[in-house]
């Protein structure tokens, strides 16, 4: 099967199920709005969810260490240590989600500042076609970093939930628009 056949098969399946994608998109928009309206709760839930994921990963890595790496020398100890670290971080995130969210937010603020500076110098030095968008992206990254750090540690209580909510909102909107386009193409082809 070549790539154009695969794309046509994918588009056909998407068009046939446009209603499910529309419902999924609306559900994500609603979840995004809920997350944005309750950012502190969304932040805590997100951090606890990440903690449970790390906890599960830790168990899987430890099981892998004993089942596969047991008689393979250094690999066993490395996997065992990684598994234990995953478990410990998962437990800390679950037990102290507010402290974890404040720490994550500090890292996020510094990240956006550093990325913004690199994007700024990249856009100025390379000046690729439409470089203004790259420059604008750099300014947005810098602004996010400054805003997060200027209100830190209080921003640690809402930034993660706000970002999750915004992501859910725009992902849902993307699904809705794609579903409506698929429905429109079905109507045109009929």
Instruction: Kindly state whether residue 57 falls inside one of the protein's structural domains.
Output: yes
Instruction: Kindly state whether residue 185 falls inside one of the protein's structural domains.
Output: yes
Average pLDDT over residues 140-154: 89
Say how far apart CA 169 and CA 177 lie, in whole Å: 12
Instruction: Kindly state whether residue 4 falls inside one of the protein's structural domains.
Output: no
pLDDT for position 15: 73
Instruction: Kindly state whether residue 78 falls inside one of the protein's structural domains.
Output: yes
Handedness of CA 94, 100, 101, 104 (dihedral sign): negative
User: Token pair of 112, please?
Assistant: 């956006």
Give residue 49's pLDDT band: very low, low, confident or very high (50, 70, 90): very high
pLDDT for position 141: 84
Instruction: Kindly state whether residue 41 falls inside one of the protein's structural domains.
Output: yes
Mean pLDDT of the chain, nearest integer? 86
Report yes or no: 16 and 8 within 8 Å, Cβ to Cβ: no
Per the structure, how many domains does the chain have?
A: 1
H helices of the chain, where?
A: 3-16, 18-37, 39-67, 74-95, 97-126, 131-150, 159-189
Instruction: Name every residue whose Cβ is closer than 8 Å to that of residue 37 and which is 6 or more positions away in sequence.
Output: 165
Q: Which of 44-48, 70-74, 144-148, 149-153 has the lowest mean pLDDT?
A: 70-74
Q: Which domain holds residue 68?
A: 14-189
Tell me: the pLDDT tens digits for 94-114?
999 999 999 989 998 898 899
pLDDT for position 51: 94
Instruction: Kindly state whether residue 2 falls inside one of the protein's structural domains.
Output: no
Instruction: Kindly state whether residue 168 falls inside one of the protein's structural domains.
Output: yes
Nearest to 50 by CA among 148, 160, 142: 160
Dihedral Cα 42, 46, 51, 57, nearest 10 deg = 160
Instruction: Kindly state whether residue 9 falls inside one of the protein's structural domains.
Output: no
């Amino acid at each position: 099967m070549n790539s154009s056949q695969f794309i046509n098969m994918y588009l056909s399946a998407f068009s046939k199920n446009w209603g499910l994608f529309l419902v999924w998109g609306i559900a994500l928009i609603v979840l995004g709005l809920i997350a944005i309206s309750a950012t502190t709760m969304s932040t805590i839930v997100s951090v606890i969810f990440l903690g449970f994921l790390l906890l599960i990963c830790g168990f899987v890595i430890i099981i892998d260490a004993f089942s596969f790496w047991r008689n393979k020398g250094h690999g066993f100890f490395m996997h065992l240590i990684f598994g234990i670290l995953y478990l410990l971080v998962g437990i800390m995130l679950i037990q102290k989600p507010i402290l974890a969210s404040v720490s994550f937010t500090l890292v996020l603020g510094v990240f956006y500042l550093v990325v913004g500076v690199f994007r700024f110098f990249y856009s100025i030095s390379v000046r690729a076609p439409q470089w203004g968008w790259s420059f604008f992206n750099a300014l947005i990254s810098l602004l996010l970093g400054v805003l997060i750090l200027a209100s830190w540690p209080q921003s640690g209580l809402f930034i993660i939930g706000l970002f999750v909510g915004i992501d859910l909102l725009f992902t849902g909107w993307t699904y809705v628009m794609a579903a409506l386009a698929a429905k429109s193409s079905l109507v045109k082809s009929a």
